[in-house]
């Protein structure tokens, strides 16, 4: 009788530990999922990008030069880490937003671009181009369900 109770207890304990271990692994996997960490930039088309920059400089105090302006900030979870959000104008004839026909494009900061692209492809999301590695970080473009082109950026912080 003791042998049956002991065997049953071991089997039950094994199942319980297996379930708990699987649950912990699943939670840790979800926590490590690549994700957006903030807005990296806002870009929009206009008839005269230079005049628009001048207007924003004069009336809103932006310091928009050739590459627009950027706003520095510190990360909430680690204030030793700096971040920046870009702002820039594009000519209304710019092809940079294609294949989207929209006037605006948002750039999102991400924490692991390669992993995110793999996730997006697995989910059937349209990835417009290949990951580009530059001095500013890694970039790629995707399309959302409404046909908006989105730029994803993993900065080199």
Q: Same domain, yes or no, for 8 and 80?
A: no
Residue 101 · residue 40 · CB < 8 Å: no
Q: Are residue 75 and residue 136 in the same domain, yes or no?
A: yes
- Encode pLDDT of 10-19 as tens digits: 444 344 445 5
The predicted structure's pLDDT at residue 5: 42
What confidence tier does 1 reach under pLDDT thresholds 50, 70, 90?
A: low
Query: Model's pTM, two decimal places?
Result: 0.71
Residue 62 shares a structural domain with residue 7? no
Task: Select from 61, 26, 34 the least CA-distant residue to 140.
Answer: 34
Say if residue 14 is in the same domain as residue 44: no
141 & 91 share domain = yes
Name the one residue in this structure whose structure tokens are 């349209």.
126
Residues 20 and 63 in one domain: no
User: Do both 20 and 65 map to the same domain?
Assistant: no
Contact 82, 89 (CB under 8 A): no
Higher-scoring residue by pLDDT: 33, 28 = 33
Q: How many domains does the chain have?
A: 2
pLDDT for 76 equals: 77
Helix%, strand%, coil% for the chain, nearest 5: 35, 35, 30
Query: What are the strands, taking DSSP E only, across the chain?
Result: 36-46, 69-74, 82-91, 104-110, 132-134, 137-143, 149-155
What are the tens digits of pLDDT across the range 42-98? 999 999 999 999 988 888 788 888 888 888 888 778 788 888 888 999 999 999 999
- Shared domain check, 144 and 99: yes
Whether 24 shows a pLDDT value over 50: the answer reads no
- Give pLDDT tens digits for 95-151: 999 999 999 999 999 989 999 999 999 999 999 999 999 998 999 999 998 899 999
Residue numbers of the domain that contains 86: 36-155
SS3 35: coil
- Looking at the fold, whether 138 and 70 belong to one and the same domain comes out as yes
């Amino acid at each position: 009788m003791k042998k049956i109770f002991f065997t049953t207890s071991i089997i039950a304990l094994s199942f319980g530990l297996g379930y708990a271990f699987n649950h912990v692994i699943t939670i840790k996997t979800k926590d490590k999922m690549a994700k957006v960490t903030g807005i990296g930039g806002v870009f929009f088309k206009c008839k005269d990008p230079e005049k628009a920059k001048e207007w924003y400089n004069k009336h809103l105090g932006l310091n928009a030069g050739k590459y627009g302006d950027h706003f520095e900030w510190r990360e909430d979870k680690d204030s030793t880490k700096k971040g920046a959000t870009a702002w820039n104008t594009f000519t209304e004839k710019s092809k940079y937003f294609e294949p989207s026909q929209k006037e605006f494009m948002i750039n999102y900061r991400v924490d692991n671009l390669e992993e995110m692209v793999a996730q997006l492809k697995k989910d059937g999301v349209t990835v417009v181009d290949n990951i580009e590695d530059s001095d500013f970080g890694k970039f790629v473009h995707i399309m959302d369900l409404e046909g908006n082109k989105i730029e994803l950026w993993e900065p080199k912080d």
